[in-house]
Structure 1
Amino acid sequence: MKYPENITEISALQPDYLGFIFWEKSKRNMTLDSIPELHETTKKVGVFVDASIQEIAAKINQYQLDIIQLHGNESFIICENVKKLGVEVIKVFSMDSTFNFSKLKEYVFAVDYFLFDTKGKLPGGNGITFDWTILENYHFNVPYFLSGGIGTTEIDGLKKLLKSPAANKCYGIDVNSRFEKKLGIKNKIKLQKFKKLLYEI
């Protein structure tokens, strides 16, 4: 999220989380001095890429962030130090067919959630999905967010996945680029449709 009116509009849908990117190289980089008031049940997620602890702490204080999503090459030690700032931590890993889930072991006690995104040219927002069957190889107890190019065309696949053992630890669905009118502006109608379709039996 990036623009005040759009933030307020999408917050009215009562999402569990809204993400704000704090990475200058991103075209969705957050430049507002403050975030408009959100629905009381919506948590603010700050997204960072290899930022310093000092920078993350400053943004937490400025924007009253609830959760920090680490989207770079952060070590488990960095994750532990971010948790000490009094926030929850999501560590992102980029998925492809060769991903080795054993690399997550050292992060298990350092994070609250994992987020599995598609491996692409950018740290995120590439607009493409990965092969979700590889999630059958995930055996840790840390809950995860599913991300990467998810849109309304993935509804049937999502429903199938969520009924499978691979989704036992799936905590939430992260959407972004497939719901944009243009960079940083989310389409409320498309999001409403997605939510309705996903929850249909």
Structure 2
Amino acid sequence: MIIKVCGMRNADNIRQVSELDIDLIGFIFWQKSSRYVRMISSKAGVLPDYSTERYRQLSEGNLVVATENKPKRVGIFVDDMPQNIVTRIYNYNLDYVQLHGNESVVMIDNLVKTIDPDIHKNIKIIKALSINTPDDIDRYKEYEGHVDLFLFDTKCDTVGGGGKHFDWSMLERYDGETPFLLSGGIGPEDVEQIKNFHHPKCVGIDINSRFETEPAMKDVDLLRTFISQLKGV
């Protein structure tokens, strides 16, 4: 089972969470989010801004970026301009782009062509779909064949992190070929519910606010216990 921990920002917290048995770690680049990840201004006009990591590498004269980092890095965007997405892929060495808005398949296809292979080889696309009613699930048909993963989340006013479940039984309606991650208010008490959820295309879960001490700060011990219980170790 893939485990994605989303809404990270603090460097020390990221390092601690990255040492756990997780697969994906998410950074939110939507300015309205309380977990928004800001970049360092380049103060150089036309030059792009930096991530903290790349700024340090430039300052130290070291431009080598690890490509086999574990967990893999996911950038979360909402109807953002392609150039902003590309800049963050480069600066944060993102392996996945998660799209939470109303992005078109034309935009997605063109984005992938721009990124792969010159900027990041084998970039993966996650399309998040907000679910409130069974009809919301049918939106996947627009994106089938254009993305690598779906993420089914609870429909709310924020980009994830709302802390509320939707009715997972509605996903019986999903009959697509693209695998998906289950999201939406998953918390420490949901271990058995996750174990009892069965769908042939469900490959993992996305967790966020229910494991926080404050926005963007994860409780490492709580995560460790949850992961151990979920994986039976």
* TM-score of the pair, normalised by structure 1: 0.92
- Give per-residue Cα distances to partners, 1:29-61, cap 9 Å, x unaligned: 112523499983310100001101111011111
Whether the 8 Å CA contact 1:14–1:41 is kept in 2: the answer is no
Q: Match of 2:42?
A: none
> For structure 1, which runs of at least 5 residues remain unmatched after alignment?
none
Distance 1:35 1:125 in 2: 25
Which residue identity is paired with 1:45?
V
Q: Which has the higher contact order (CA 8 A, sep 6+)?
A: 2
In the TM superposition, what is the alpha-carbon distance from 1:100 to its structure 2 partner? 4.0
Give the distance between the partners of 1:73 and 1:89, measured in 2 at CA. Answer: 14
Q: Which amino acid aligns with 2:88?
A: K
Q: Which runs of 5+ in 2 are unaligned?
A: 1-7, 40-50, 55-64, 117-122
Amino acid at match of 1:19: G
- Give, in whole Å, the separation in 2 of the partners of 1:79 and 1:67: 12
Over the matched positions of the two proteins, sequence identity in percent amounts to 41
What's the counterpart of residue 15 of structure 1?
A: 22
Aligned to 1:4: 11
1:158 counterpart = 2:187: no
- Counterpart selection for 1:135 from 149, 166, 171: 171
Q: What secondary structure is seen at the aligned counterpart in 1 of 2:204?
A: strand
Equivalent residue, structure 1, for 2:52: 34
The aligned residue for residue 59 of structure 1 is 88
TM-score when normalising by structure 2: 0.79
1:179 and 2:208 are equivalent in the alignment? no
The reply on whether 1:197 has 2:226 as its aligned counterpart is no
Conservation of the 8 A alpha-carbon contact between 1:91 and 1:113:
yes
Query: Which of the residues 93, 113, 125 maps onto 2:149?
Result: 113
Is the 1:53–1:81 contact (alpha carbons within 8 Å) kept by the matching residues of 2?
A: no
Matched, 1:91 2:127: yes
Q: What is the aligned partner in structure 1 of residue 158 from structure 2?
A: 122
Of structures 1 and 2, the larger Rg is shown by 2
C-alpha distance in 2 between matches for 1:99 and 1:119: 12
Distance in 2 between the 1:11 and 1:35 partners? 15
How far apart in 2 are the matches of 1:81 and 1:15? Answer: 30
